[in-house]
Amino acid sequence: MTPAPRLLALVRGCGPTGALAALALADAGWSVRVHDPSGAGELTARQRAYALTHSSRRLLQQLDAWVELQQQLVPFSELNLCDLGSGAAQVTFTQRDLSRANGGEPIGWIAQHDVLMTTLLQALEQHPGVSLALGPAAAEHPRQEPALIVAADGPHSSSRNSLAIGCWRWHYRQSCLTAQVQLRGTAPHQAWELFRPEGPMALLPLGETRVQVVWSASPERCRALELLSPDAFLDHLSGALPERFQPDACLVPPRSFAVGLSLARRLQRGRTVLVGESAHNSHPVGGQGLNLCWRDVATLHRLAQRVQRGRLAPEALPRQYALRRWPDLLLTLAATDLLVRIFSNRAALLLPLRRAALGALLRVPLLKRLSLGVMTDGPCRHPYR
């Protein structure tokens, strides 16, 4: 096949996944138009943080976006798992448990949303192959007919709905509350995943003693916590944490949101592919959400390169994308769902299983390395490749 001419892609949605998808397509040699009804200020104005793993780091390196962004990330070299409901021993993952391909690197990095989006938007504005159309008055339709439409417009995707693509959904009996606090009892290089009977709680380091709390509990409890004064919220947080942790100040007020599992019944139709939360959503346990979305982008990037090199017909890209993404999506969504179901309860029959699972991680180094490999590289990449 001869090399393909420069093709046009339309990306609908300019959140972290849509923005990175646009950069990936432009890097592959496509012309890209990005449309989002929100303006740049609205796109960056979210108080939340993401845990980035090595699958995301590799993609950012391929797109020459890693060096600049890395300077603004908070690395962590230790990940601690604690099951507070079963009394099992704490499991600590360190850099020694990483695969050889990731050796010498931190286990992961924490990115704050405003910093991440500001960096991505600047990269889009500077790329000659990208045209941005942001804000409610911006026109979506380019003059040239796009060869590919990327739907990255979030969990309530109008693109997906317009194509009559349904979703499988499961609503957990939990909501999630996020807040930023000043916390004693942890170190800047430590991240924590605390399994509690009412739901998991993550503590993500943001530098010095600043921590992002991701607290899962019943919707009623999350709503009540959201309405508390800062001092009252800190009292409730202190009661939910192990004694070693002492919250001193609430830096960003708590905000709650519903959590659930969703998966589109198909990932493409015609020229349109569903990417990120327009295609899937998961419980925040394990910090897999954004990394799973960005693995969608990594697959799209590889296929777009093949099209531009003349090795794949443009009309074949959507179907190839869907075929390649199903295994990772199904395995990751199943794993996060299983963690919530096993560890977010007080079922006495499950306590021996929970203690045995964490005990096996402590006793079997190979199992520990494989588990960390799945968390940092995704379940479909061999951890020693």
Cα distances from 99 to residues 81, 219, 300, 351, 368, in angstroms, run: 19, 38, 25, 30, 11
Q: How confident is the model at residue 142 (pLDDT cuts 50, 70, 90)?
A: low
Please report the pLDDT score of residue 4 as a whole number: 46
Residue 226 clears pLDDT 50, i.e. is over it: yes
Average of per-residue pLDDT across 166-170: 94
**Could you give the count of Cα atoms lying within 13 Å of 50 in the half-sphere of its Cβ?**
22
Q: Which residues does 204 contact at the CB level (< 8 Å), separation at least 6? A: 49, 51, 76, 110, 191, 211, 212, 214, 287
Residue 196 clears pLDDT 70, i.e. is over it: yes
Please report the pLDDT score of residue 383 as a whole number: 38
Residue 347 clears pLDDT 50, i.e. is over it: yes
Mean pLDDT taken over the chain: 92
Average of per-residue pLDDT across 1-17: 82
In this prediction the pTM is 0.93
Average of per-residue pLDDT across 284-295: 94
* Dihedral class, residue 164 (left if φ above 0, else alpha if ψ from -120 to 50, else beta): left
Please report the pLDDT score of residue 1 as a whole number: 44
- State the sign of the Cα–Cα–Cα–Cα dihedral 283, 358, 366, 189: positive
**Could you give the count of Cα atoms lying within 13 Å of 369 in the half-sphere of its Cβ?**
15
Percent of the chain surpassing pLDDT 90: 85
Which of 1-5, 89-93, 235-239, 374-378 shows the lowest per-residue confidence on average (mean pLDDT)? 1-5
Which of 1-10, 104-113, 228-237, 277-286 shows the lowest per-residue confidence on average (mean pLDDT)? 1-10
Select the more confidently predicted residue: 105 or 246: 246
- How far is it, in rounded angstroms, from Cα 43 to Cα 67? 23
Average of per-residue pLDDT across 29-48: 93
Please report the pLDDT score of residue 385 as a whole number: 39
pLDDT tens digit string along 307-333?
999 999 999 999 999 999 999 999 999
Please report the pLDDT score of residue 382 as a whole number: 43
Q: How confident is the model at residue 47 (pLDDT cuts 50, 70, 90)?
A: confident
Asked if residue 45 lies in contact with residue 114, where contact means CB atoms within 8 angstroms, the answer is yes
Residue 180 clears pLDDT 60, i.e. is over it: yes
Report the CATH number of the 8-72+111-168+261-344 domain: 3.50.50.60
